[in-house]
Structure 1
Amino acid sequence: MSLDNMNLTGHFLIAMPNLTDPYFAKSVTFICTHNQDGAMGIVINRPTDMSYETLFEKINIKLEDTAIANDPVLYGGPVQPERGFVLHEPFGDWDSSITINEKTSLTTSKDILEAVAVGAGPKKLIFSLGYAGWTPNQLEQEIVQNSWLSVQAKDIETLNKILFETPHEEQLNAAISLLGFDPAMLSDVAGHA
């Protein structure tokens, strides 16, 4: 895949050991869009101290679905950390969503939260504050500089298991396992033949 037509939409980005930026060290980012305008994703393995219950109180929505009340809100990235992003399956008829693949979407409108609050929203979801963003060709250059590994799940079931069912502290190793080698083999030095 050349840098000119690289499209990592639907891929996991795994931070390499040499990536020491505090926002991204040891992170897994799920890429929601990647095109000529740049890339956008959600860091999926950075839970905050804020629960869904606390978040819903802050936005004045009564959370009636107590099963998710203690789930952590994620730190999705350093861009617009005051804004909420819901990564979810399945689709729905929400005011502001983008389709990532045949089953997964990202929604930023309040109507999804109102539905989730009463148990009528998607059952598989991640709520994050903020996102990770890259300008045109920035992500490609960071990959060339050995900051990231990208990997795509072999199927939607595997993808959604990592996104929605794997504990956050295990998501890094789950994403690395998709590459088919021992995480200890990762080097912080780029090699060129």
Structure 2
Amino acid sequence: MTHSQIASGATDLTGSLLIAMPGMGDERFEHAVIYLCAHSDEGAMGLILNKPSSEVTLEGLFEQLGIDAEPGSGHEPVHFGGPVEMGRGFVLHSNDYRSELTTLQVDDGFSMTGTLDVLEHIARGDGPDDWIAMLGYAGWGPGQLEGELAENAWLVCPATRDLVFGTADAAKWGAALDSLGIAALALSGEGGRA
């Protein structure tokens, strides 16, 4: 993919991962790995995969929402999905689950549900096999993400089920870089001068 394809919006990055470059300048996105649920000429929407909340657990969310959970469920953290609409919840999950209300199937491997019923299914133990619950999302207006890509704020790599669901949060950024053959230590947050 060339910078001109990205800048012109010719490439649909839906279903890809964005990897934050060092020195981005926004600590909310420092070392972030974002799954892009939607990308078009109208903008983009994604979910940060590797920033678990230290304050919100799924168990606490179940209690707050009045969801009865099976014993032992709910110990997983709820992730910071991004700075937009932080009171709104999303679950990125495998395609083996479909909500009765609304599920967006992003591609052959991933879906996103933003309705309460997915949490109810997870609490009962009959939800998706793989999932990440989060509050908030990352959003870009028309052309905004393309501009950030042209400024080398993000790298793009394919999303795999193992990287998204099978890699520890603290290791996702490095693993995503590794998938591109890039060593994290080789990246610098400062631009060079000729």
Unaligned runs of 5+ in 1: 154-158
Match of 2:80 among 72, 75, 80: 75
Give the TM-score taking structure 1 as reference length: 0.91
Deviation sequence 1:91-143 (CA, Å, 0-9, x none): 43311211111121000111111111111111200000000000011001001
User: Do structure 1's residue 30 and structure 2's residue 31 form an aligned pair?
Assistant: no
**What is the identity percentage for the equivalent residue pairs of Structure 1 and Structure 2?**
39
What root-mean-square deviation, in Å, do the aligned CA atoms of Structure 1 and Structure 2 show?
1.7
Q: Which amino acid counterpart does residue 118 of structure 2 have in structure 1?
A: I
Q: Would you say the 8 A contact 1:44–1:76 is kept in 2? A: yes
Show the 5 A alignment for 1:17-96: 17-49=22-54, 50-64=56-70, 66=72, 68-94=73-99, 95-96=101-102
CA–CA distance in 2 between the matches of 1:125 and 1:88?
A: 4
After TM superposition, the runs of 4+ consecutive aligned structure 1 residues lying more than 2 A away are 90-93, 187-191
Q: Which amino acid counterpart does residue 183 of structure 1 have in structure 2?
A: A
Give the TM-score taking structure 2 as reference length: 0.90
For the residue of structure 2 that corresponds to 1:140, the secondary structure is helix
Q: Which amino acid counterpart does residue 18 of structure 1 have in structure 2?
A: G
For the residue of structure 1 that corresponds to 2:66, the secondary structure is coil
| 1:167 match | 168
| 1:180 match | 181
Q: Would you say the 8 A contact 2:51–2:80 is kept in 1? A: yes
Q: Would you say the 8 A contact 1:39–1:139 is kept in 2? A: yes
Q: Which amino acid counterpart does residue 55 of structure 1 have in structure 2?
A: L
User: Do structure 1's residue 139 and structure 2's residue 139 form an aligned pair?
Assistant: no
Deviation at 1:181, TM superposition (A): 2.1
